[in-house]
Amino acid sequence: MPQSEHGVTLASIYAARKRIAGQVTRTPLIRSVALSERFSAEVFLKLETCQPTGAFKLRGATNMIATLIERHGRDALAAGVTTASTGNHGRAVAYAASRLGVPATICLSTLVPANKVAAIEALGATVKRVGNSQDQAFEEVARLVAEASMTLIPPFDDPLIAAGQGTIGVELLEDQPDLDRVFVGLSGGGLLGGIGAALKGIHSRIQVTGISLSKGAAMWESLQAGHPVEVEEVESLGDSLGGGIGLDNRCTFALVREVMDDHFQVSEAAIAQAMVAMLADEKLLVEGAAAVGLAALEEHAIDIRGQKVALIVSGNGVSLETFDQARAIAQR
């Protein structure tokens, strides 16, 4: 599929890398002794948990805001940027905007706990509490864009967002040029699409494996259908991998279809067991979406013997309460 259909190129990823340098952490790639021994392979962990906001989302948000400043000047963003997110993306937009000197408004429903509101406000953003659902919060975002001239920073479906996430792929190959395979969580497609575009652009032989939830996997269902479709969102330990991709998806559907080589779906039990193993063996407390690479290896008995493999550990946005739930599931 031509790159023009999604707008993400290796050149745009390298441009993003230069643009976000100094604003975003170049995260470590560590060899896991335990996993390497368990799977008779060289298994590496890419620790996006080391970002200041605890997740990879900071890369894309920083790249998009910085690019808009470059192209249109800071005055074009005088009204501010906006989005609706209770998790990694909202924190990333708040942090990136603050670092780049741009006002940010994050729209949250009234159901969002006070501690999450305070965490986003602590990063310098204005929080607007609107409605009783995420959909109603997004309605307020649309109003701010239309009536207050704010600029939307989307969570995944934009070439600038995907290029920012793609800088992870460049770092992977700088640290381990002879990687054979990379396991990436698949949701809206910005992370997998960006990383895949970087890896394929540098070494096309590298296998890109996507992992989705067993239920509510919008991108995977859309790929099976041949066009974006809606799916019912379900509660999951890997909640960051839930949600739709947008029926009017203009970037990541085409990008993922181009760069992903294979795909696995993982159960709640497998995610829970992987979360517990990451803490026990790697001393890493991670969210469910960050553990799906290990979950897939275990649940599907994927043969990686003799290979060099990287797992993208995408974020640490998990509460102790949720981790306790995972531990209880893993012990059943």
- 219 and 117 in a common domain: no
In the chain, the number of structural domains is: 2
- SS3 label, residue 155: coil
- Please report whether residue 256 resides in a domain: yes
Q: What percent of the chain has pLDDT over 70?
A: 98
Q: Name residues whose C-beta falls within 8 Å of residue 160's C-beta, 6 or more positions apart in sequence.
A: 12, 16, 60, 63, 64, 67
Residue that has been written with the tokens 């993922």 in this structure: 256
Same domain, 176 and 279: yes
pLDDT in tens, 141-195: 999 999 999 999 999 999 999 999 999 999 999 999 999 999 999 999 999 999 9
Residue 44 DSSP label:
E
Last residue of a domain, one of 119, 149, 179: 149
**Which of 105-114, 200-209, 258-267 shows the lowest mean pLDDT across its residues?**
105-114
Clarify whether residues 199 and 243 are in a common domain: yes
Which of 149, 181, 210 marks a domain boundary? 149
For residues 26-37, give the mean pLDDT.
98
Provide, rounded to the nearest whole percent, the portion of the chain with pLDDT above 90. 82
Residue 121's domain is classified under what CATH number?
3.40.50.1100
**What is the distance between the alpha carbons of residues 100 and 47, in angstroms, rounded to a whole number?**
24
Whether residues 100 and 202 share a domain: the answer is no
Domain that holds residue 289: 3-55+158-330
Q: How confident is the model at residue 3 (pLDDT cuts 50, 70, 90)?
A: very low
> What is the pTM for the complete model shown?
0.94
Tokens representing residue 302 in the block: 């994927």
73 in Cβ contact with 100 (< 8 Å):
no
Confirm whether 70 is domain-assigned: no
Determine the average pLDDT of the residues in 30-55. 97
Is the domain of 135 the same as that of 117? yes
Residue at 63 is within a domain: no
What confidence score (pLDDT) does residue 103 get?
Answer: 96
Same domain, 132 and 185: no
Res. 4: pLDDT tops 60: no
Q: What is the pLDDT of residue 183?
A: 98
Q: Do 231 and 103 belong together in one domain?
A: no
Residue 57 is a catalytic residue: yes
Q: What is the pLDDT of residue 126?
A: 94
Neighbours of 7 (CB within 10 A): 16
On whether residue 318 sits in a domain, the answer given is: yes
Q: Is residue 75 one of the residues assigned to a domain? A: no
Alpha-carbon distance of 276 to 271, in angstroms, equals 9
> Within 13 A of 18's CA, how many CA atoms are on the CB side?
7
Q: In sequence order, what are the residues at sequence separation of 6 or more whose Cβ sits closer than 8 angstroms to the Cβ of residue 323? A: 275, 279, 285
pLDDT tens digits for range 302-321: 999 999 999 999 999 888 99
Last residue of a domain, one of 121, 149, 177: 149
Q: Which residues contact 222 (CB under 8 A, 6 or more apart)?
A: 228, 229, 245, 249, 253
Query: Is residue 136 exposed (0-12), middle (13-18) or buried (19+ Cβ within 10 Å)?
Result: middle
Residue of 57, 200, 212, 308 marked active site: 57
pLDDT digits (tens, 9 = 90+) for 216-250: 899 999 999 999 998 887 889 998 888 889 899 99
User: Are residues 227 and 315 both part of a single domain?
Assistant: yes
Q: 29 with 171: CB under 8 angstroms?
A: yes
Distance CA 198, CA 163 (A): 9
Q: Do residue 299 and residue 181 come from a single domain?
A: yes
Residues 170 and 296 in one domain: yes
Q: Do 110 and 51 belong together in one domain?
A: no
